Every structure is written in structure tokens, then in C-alpha cells.
Amino acid sequence: MLIPGYATEQGTTRFRQRFEGRLPEHFRRFEGLWLSSIGIGTYLGEPNAQFDRSYSHSIERAIQLGVNVIDSAINYRHQRSERSIGRAISNLISRGELSRDEIFLATKGGFLTFDGDPPADPASYFYERIIQTGLARPEDVAAECHVMSPRYLKNQVEVSRRNLGVETIDLYYVHNPETQLSCADHAEFYRRLKDAFAALEEAVTEGQIRFYGVATWNAFRSEPDSPEAISLKEVLRVACEAGGEGHHFRAVQLPFNLAMPEALLNSTQSLDGQRASLLRSAMMRKLMVFASATLLQGQLSDGLPLEIAECFKGLKTDAQRSIQFVRSTPGVTCALVGMSRMEHVEQNLATAAAPPLSLEEYRSIFSKKM
């Protein structure tokens, strides 16, 4: 039986109030929801039972320490990450420690994925399950790994709902849609994206998801003339065509960290006839921005230059400093941090006890050698 409900103003306010006085400026308000400035990601790790247990325990602990944003994708660890999240949420709710309306669940679809364990013949596996069932046509498959046809995405939403154990997913992303540009020009790409958004608007109407967005890697960081670049303005145009003025496109996700600051520094987008950064463009359009790769898969957890580390007073580790940089960036709603081990949860979430950097403190970082 799927858990009913979704994140609400009342629920997320209740969650925030449990940490009042302990986590200054940790929660940000959007669409009436209070969302934690640090979220837990579930990308890395082997697809095995050991990591399943570790993720479930880490997610439970993260929620207990003030995280109410959880991020995943159906292909993470061959669907096992979503299922680990589902177990953690079910455990907390059954113990009376959590209500469904207090947490914001985000996941993604678009990449082909196995179910638990890789099959002996992946090509036959996908042909039988995707092409023969009519979820996609051969020409819908980009780079031999990506599909965003309407029928396929609707199917993936349903599978993710079952994996997570919930009736409604708060935020559903089309995962790395720029992958489609490997086999389609930009005009065809936006046509495909419009069809994908139309399917997600149907999912909203059916109560399967609340909002949708795009989770990208290179698309919003690349210069406009790059083959992988996509325009936020155009993305919103097709969202409007798919769902009208009241469309439910609300969020973008992209890498942002001390080593990859393009979302802040590069003017890759068009805003009122001028070039603007992705963060400014999204902020002016009142979109949530979720920063992935906050620690760059652990590479920013250690070894920051001393002159950079000195900008973060009161924090003990480079991981905490890297998280603080992202969550202090104007326009960033939430810094996503992959955490599958309990000790990392405890250490990383200690960052939330410190208020975000002031604008003056933040700007001082860029006077150093990054």
C-alpha cells in the first residue's frame, strides 16, 4: 500500500519548528514549503544489500538531524536507491517520527535502468521491456541509454512511486534531457521535451507527482553555442505550451560547487534580452535550484587551499566548508550531498548549525585563488 500525501506548508512548517533555534537559516521557503538547505543524495554506491541498509540508515539519520529534501533517480543503483528511501520513510512513519507531509521527495527518469541486478544480455533486456512493449520506439533512444518519450516517462513515474512507497512524488525531473541532443537537433529536442512535459502535466493531474523540472549536467553550464546547451527560456516556453500558464515546471538541478561555479559565474542564459547566469535566470523566474555534486563525489571533502578554507569560520572539515559554499550561494535552494555512511551524515550535517555566509563573507571567497 502506497503512503498517501505529499509535502505541504503545514507539514514542512511542523518539521522546521522541531529544529528552531538549533539550525539558523537552514530552511528556505518555496511555494509555501519549508525546505532544508542541505538535502541527501543517493547516487553513489554498489547495487547490493550492504549499501541498501547503509543508505536507509543514513536517510533516517539525516531526517532526524533536520534534512527534509531527499533526491534520487530510478537508475541510481538499479532502482535500489529509491527502494532504500522507501524503507527509511516507512520506518520513520511507522515509529511516529515522521509524517509524509513533512518531507520533499525528488526523483528522476529518462535513463534506461536495470531492476536490481544487471541482466546477462542488456540489449535484449531493454528491447523486450521498452521497445516490444511500446514504451518507446527505437528512434526515441538516444546514446543507447536515454528515453524521454511520454509513455516511457509515465511508466517510470509509476515504477518510482512503487519503489518509494508513496502515492505522490513531490518533484519529478526529466533526467539529463540534453542526452537527446546526441541524435536530435534543437528544434526536435524541444518538441520531444514538450511531449515529455505534457506527460508530466498529466501525472500532476492524476496526483502522481506535484511538480516537475529538469536535472542536467552540462546543459545549463555550457556556452549557448555548445551542442549540449539548452535554454531555460525555451524550456519554460515548451512547459507553457504543454501545461498552459498554470504549468507545473518548478525546478532545475545542475552541478554547482567550488570547482564548478559556472551556474553562478557564466552568462549562459537569456534574461530580458541580456545574458545572465543560470542562477540569476532561475531566481528571476522564481524557480527552485537544486545543486548536485556539492562535494564533487568526495573530491572537495579534503585538500581545499588554506586561503579558501580560512573563509569559512567555525567549520571543522573541508566537506563542511564546501557544503557551506553551495548553501550560501544566492539562488540555490538546496545543496545536495550524497551520504551513504552514518559518519558522513553526522559530520556533513553539522554544517547546518552554522548560519550561511553573509554576502560579504561569500564574496571574499572569490578574491582568493579558486
pLDDT digits (tens, 9 = 90+) for 191-241: 999 999 999 999 999 999 999 999 999 999 999 999 999 999 999 999 999
Question: Strand 288-292 and strand 249-255: pairing?
Answer: parallel
Burial of 339 (0-12, 13-18, 19+ CB in 10 A): buried
Q: What is the pLDDT of residues 326-367, one digit of tens each?
A: 999 999 999 999 999 999 999 999 999 999 999 999 999 988
* CATH code of domain 9-365: 3.20.20.100
pLDDT of the residue at 118: 87
CA distance 144 to 193: 18
Q: What is the pLDDT of residues 268-293, one digit of tens each?
A: 999 999 999 999 999 999 999 999 99
Q: CA quadruple 72, 77, 78, 82: dihedral positive or negative?
A: negative
**For the chain, domain boundaries:** 9-365
Mean pLDDT for 137-164 is 96
φ and ψ of 29, to 5 deg = -100, 130
Mean pLDDT for 116-136 is 90
Listed residue (336, 5, 3, 337) closest to 170, CA to CA: 5
Is residue 25 within 8 A of residue 321, CB to CB? The reply is: no
Q: What is the pLDDT of residues 140-151, one digit of tens each?
A: 999 999 999 999
Q: What is the pLDDT of residues 94-115, one digit of tens each?
A: 999 999 999 999 999 999 999 9
pLDDT of the residue at 230: 97
The percent of residues above 70 in pLDDT, for the chain, comes to 99
pLDDT of the residue at 271: 94
CA distance 301 to 351: 13
162 pLDDT more than 70: yes
